Structure 1
C-alpha cells in the first residue's frame, strides 16, 4: 500500500517544520527501514515535509509513531499536525504537490525540481521501489502537462518572487541596491534569477559551507568570504537567505554590532573597520527563505531592520487565477484516476500470466506437432505455415476477451475474483501479486 505523511504550511507552524527538518537524515533513515517499508521517498522543502512510503500492511499509526520517534516529537503533537494519505489518495496528492497546487504560492515552479531531486536521492541511496518510481515518474509527466496546458507554472510564481514583490516598494531602485545572497543551492539559483529579473546588479554571495567563490564565478557575482561577512552586512540593503543550515546563521548579535540607521560606519564584532556606510533612508531588509531558519526571529527587534520570513510570506500569498487552477486540478484528478486504474490492472497480472501460459502451452504443443509432420512430409510445408499462423491468430482471439474482462475486474477493485476464477478453471492455487501485495 502507498502511504504519505504530510506536515506542511496548511496544518503545522514553522517551528514544528523546523524541528522535523533539523532531523531529516534521522527521519529518512528510520522510515527507510526494510522492516517498515520496502521503499521510502522524503520530500523536504521550505514549507513542507512529506514521507512517501511503499509499505504493504503498514498501519498509518505505525508510520506516524516511527516518524515521531525519529523526529523526537510526542506522537500526539505530530498527529495533530500531520495529514495521512493512503492508497490512491497518495497519487492525487503527489500529482498536486509536484504541480505547485499545494504550495504557498500556487503554481510555483521550484517544487517540480524538488520532487525530482527527492526521488533521485531515494534511488541513489537504494531507498526507492518500483511502485514509488512509477508514481514519481508519472508525477513529473503530470506537472509538465499542467505547465504546458494551463500556464500555471509559467507566471514566474515562487516564494522568492512573492517575497521580492512584497519588499519592492521598500527597495525602490533595484539597480542601486546592494544585495547579499546567502546559500549556493538550487533555491539560491532561483533567487539570483529573481533578483536579476528585478534589475539588481550589485549582488554578493556567502556560503556557510565555503562554496561562495565557485558559485560567484559561475554566476558572475561577487563572493563574500567568511571573514568578510560582517563587513558586508554593514553596507547591505537586502539579504536573501536560503541556505540549508540547522541553526540560524544570522543572529541578533551580528546586527546589533553592524551598522544600522544613524550608527557610525564601524563593525565591531571582530574589531574591523568596514567601508563607510551610506546614509540610510530606508531599513535594512532581510528575507529568510530557509527552513530551518537562517535568521533568528529576534533580529526583527534591531532598529533599522525588517525581517520577512516564510510565515509572513505565507500570510500574504495571493489568490491564484481561478480558471487556471481549476483546470490544473481537473488534470490532476484525471491523471490520478488513470494511474490508479493502471495500478489496479496490475493486480490481474498473475491471472493473465496463468491464462496465457495455459493457452500458449497448448498452442506450442500443436505447432510442434505440425512441424514434426512437416519434417516427414515435405509437401505439407505451405499448409503447415498457414496452419501455424491460423492457430496463433486463434489463440490471440481466444485470449482477448478474458484479458479485457480481467482488467475490467481489476479496475473495479475485483482483481481477486478474476485471479480466483482462473485458478478454479485451471485447477491451481490462486497466484499472489499486484500493487497491493
Structure 2
C-alpha cells in the first residue's frame, strides 16, 4: 500500500519545513531497516515542501504512519504532535495523483517550476543509495518523472525560465537599475547556484562571483566563468547583490562590515542568512517566506491543461497497477509450464537454440494478454481479465489486500 505524509508552504510554516529539510531525509534508512511495518520509503525535502512516500503493508498502515512521524520528529527536532498536525496523510490513488502533480510543478510556489522534477529524481536516487526504495516506489517515481516530461512538452508550463530563482530576481529587479553594472556574489555551488548563474546572465549581469563554504568554489567558478571569492566578508563588502543557495547557514551579520546598500536573496533551506541581517542599515533581505507570498497567479489555461494530463497519467498508472496481480499470476503460470517443458526438452537433447526459441515464444504469447489487461483496466473492466485467466487457466491472482492496495480506515490529517 502506498502512503504519503505531506506538508508544504501552503499549510506549514517555513520554520517547520526548514527543520524537516535538515533532518528528515537522513531518518529514512533507519525507519525502513528498524521497522517491519515499512517496506520502502522515499523522502523529498525541498525549500517549500516535505514529503515522505511509504510502501507499507495495508494491515499495519496506521502503525507505519505513527512510526514515520516519530522517526522524522526525532531526526528533525520537531515535536511529534506538531508534526502530525502539520502533515496531510494521502493513501492509495491519491498518492499517485499527488506525486505526479508535485513532480510536474503544479504544487510549487512558482507553478511549473523547473527544479522540482530534478529534486524528485534525486530523492529516489538517495533512497536507492541508502537501500530504502521498493519496487512499487520505483515504478511510482519513474512514472512521475515521465509524466513531468509529458506536461512540459504538451502544455504552456513547459516554457523555459520557471523557477524560484527567477521569481526572486524579478522581485529584486525593481531595486536594481542596471544589471550589467551590478556586482553579484553567489554563495553556494549546487544546482540552484547553476540556475542562478543562468538567470542572472539572462538579465544581463556580467560581474558574477562565487564563494563556497564547502571549498568547491574553484571548480564551479572555472566551469561557469565566474570570479572566485575566497573570503566571504570581502565578497559581501564588494557586492551589490548577495544570493545564497547552499546547504547550511553561511552568512551572519558579522559579514557586513559597512552600511552599504545591498539586496540579499536567501534561497537556502535551511536558511543561509541570519534573519538579523534584514535589520541592518541599508540591507534588504528576501527569504523564501517573503518570496512565496509574492508568487504569481498561475496561468489558468496552462495549469488546467497540465492537471488534465496529470490526472490521465495517474488514472493509467492506478489502472495498470490494479491488474498487475493478474498479469503476474498469468506470467507465473506460463513460465511454470515453460520450465517443465524445457526440462523435458533437455532430457530429449534439445539444443540451446531450441530452448531459447521456446522462451521467446512464451514471452510473445504473454505480450498480447498483458497489453489487453491494461486496456481493460483503463476501461474499468480489469476484473474481467482476472476472471478470464481464472476460468481459462485455473490460476488465481493475489487479492488487493495481499498486495497492500486496500486502505484500512485511514483518514487524512
Please give the TM-score of this superposition, normalised by the length of structure 2. 0.83
Change (3 A) 1:357 1:110: closer
Asked if the contact 2:315/2:378 (under 8 Å) is kept, the reply is no
Partners of 1:4 and 1:85 within 8 A in 2: yes
Identify the residue that residue 310 of structure 1 maps to in structure 2.
Answer: 288
8 Å Cα contact 1:299-1:305 kept in structure 2: yes
Q: Does 1:328 align with 2:306?
A: yes
Does the aligned pair in 2 maintain the 1:6–1:84 contact within 8 Å? yes
Counterpart of 1:345 in structure 2 is 323
CA 1:314–1:419: 2 relative to 1, 3 Å: same
* Shift of residue 134, structure 1, vs aligned partner: 1.0
Structure with larger RCO (C-alpha < 8 A, sep 6+): 2
Q: 1:193 aligns with which of 173, 179, 198?
A: 198
Match of 1:301?
279
| 2:264 is the counterpart of 1:286 | yes
RMSD over aligned Cα, in angstroms? 3.4
Q: Secondary structure at the match of 2:317?
A: helix
Q: How does 1:29-428 map to 2 (within 5 A)?
A: 29-33=29-33, 35-57=36-58, 58-59=61-62, 60-225=65-230, 228-245=231-248, 248-255=249-256, 258-261=257-260, 283-353=261-331, 356=334, 408=376, 418=386, 422=390, 426=394
Q: For residue 143 of structure 1, report the CA deviation from its aligned partner.
A: 0.8
Gaps of 5+ in 2: 349-360, 407-413
The SS at the match of 2:81 is: helix
Instruction: Work out whether residues 28 and 132 of structure 2, in 8 Å CA contact, stay in contact via their aligned partners in 1.
Output: no
Change (3 A) 1:180 1:189: same
Q: Deviations over 1:77-118 (max 9, x none)?
A: 012211111111111111111111010010111111111111
Q: Secondary structure at the match of 1:38?
A: strand
Please, what TM-score do these two structures have when normalized by structure 1? 0.78
Partner of 2:352: none
CA shift in 2, pair 1:361/1:423, >3 Å: farther
Number of aligned positions between the proteins? 383
Deviations 1:345-380 (A, max 9, x none): 112235434665798799x69x99xxx9xxxxxxxx
- The secondary structure found in structure 2 opposite 1:300 is helix
Q: Is the 8 A contact 1:344 1:411 kept in 2?
A: no
Distance 2:45 2:380 in 1: 35
Q: Distance in 2 between matches of 1:436 and 1:326?
A: 29
- Is residue 5–residue 82 contact of structure 1 (8 Å, CA) maintained in 2? yes
Larger Cα-atom Rg? 1
1:73 Cα offset (Å): 2.4
Distance 1:154-1:401 versus aligned 2 partners, 3 A rule = closer
How far apart are the structure 1 equivalents of 2:220 and 2:239? 19
Give the secondary structure class of the aligned counterpart of 2:263.
strand
CA distance in 2, matches of 1:299, 1:85: 39
Answer with 174-183 or 75-84: which moved more. Answer: 75-84
SS in 2 for 1:29: helix
Bigger mean CA offset, 2-11 vs 328-337: 2-11
Contact kept in structure 2, 1:235 and 1:259, CA below 8 Å: no
Structure 2 CA distance, aligned partners of 1:405 and 1:113? 32
Q: Which residue of 1 aligns with 2:28?
A: 28
Question: Mean alpha-carbon deviation: is it higher for 24-33 or for 325-334?
Answer: 24-33
| Mapped partners of 2:386, 2:167: distance in 1 | 53
Tell me how far 1:15 sits from its aligned partner.
Answer: 0.6
